[in-house]
Amino acid sequence: MGKEQTLLIVKPDAVRKNLIGEVLARLEKGGLKVVASKMVHLKEKEAEEFYAIHRERPFYRDLVNFMISGPVVISILEGEGAIAKNREIMGATNPKEAAPGTIRADFADSIDENAVHGSDGPDTARTEIAFFFTPQEICPRLKARDY
């Protein structure tokens, strides 16, 4: 699998509940490293573009409105199999289906307000990272001495 980078968003519901640290702590304890991070309040156009793949889905407008309802914390996580690891620690998209002890099982209220977003594969991770970060904003820790 090798070392990978993936995008994580702590969504407005989790930020409102003061869970930024808790979410990042769980991912760090899982072996992932934060190599870039910023808090932003997304503009409507940004949220629309980021979730453009869901444009035809019935939940698209609600999703965009939710994502601009408050600030989010967007991070790049790096590590062995980071994409799958992040998804494992987050739990299933629908908190009702999320395994016990996962972020979404513990903190998400519904599939719409589900606390976190994570890239679902290598191509998505690359696209999503480039959407929010310039290469200069990323501090990779891929050197062996950091692990």
Binding-site ranges for ligand CMP (CB under 6 A): 54, 59, 63, 93, 111-112, 114, 117
Tell me the closest approach of the beta carbon of residue 141 to ligand CMP, in angstroms.
25
**Through-space distance between the first and last CA atoms of the chain, rounded to whole angstroms:** 16
CA angle, residues 126, 131, 137, in degrees to nearest 5: 85
Q: Which residue minimizes CB distance to ligand CMP?
A: 117
| Active site annotation includes 41 | no
Q: Which of 72, 65, 64 is nearest to 11 (CA)?
A: 72
Q: Which is nearer to ligand CMP, 97 or 146 (CB)?
A: 97
Reading the block at residue 93, the tokens are 């998209």
Q: Which is nearer to ligand CMP, 124 or 140 (CB)?
A: 124
CA distance 64 to 48: 6
Tell me the closest approach of the beta carbon of residue 63 to ligand CMP, in angstroms.
5
Q: Catalytic: which of 75, 117, 118, 133? A: 117
Pairing assessment for the beta strands 72-80 and 3-10 based on DSSP bridges:
antiparallel
Q: Which is nearer to ligand CMP, 113 or 140 (CB)?
A: 113
Residue owning tokens 């990978």? 4
Tell me the closest approach of the beta carbon of residue 143 to ligand CMP, in angstroms.
31
Task: Kindly list the catalytic residues.
Answer: 117
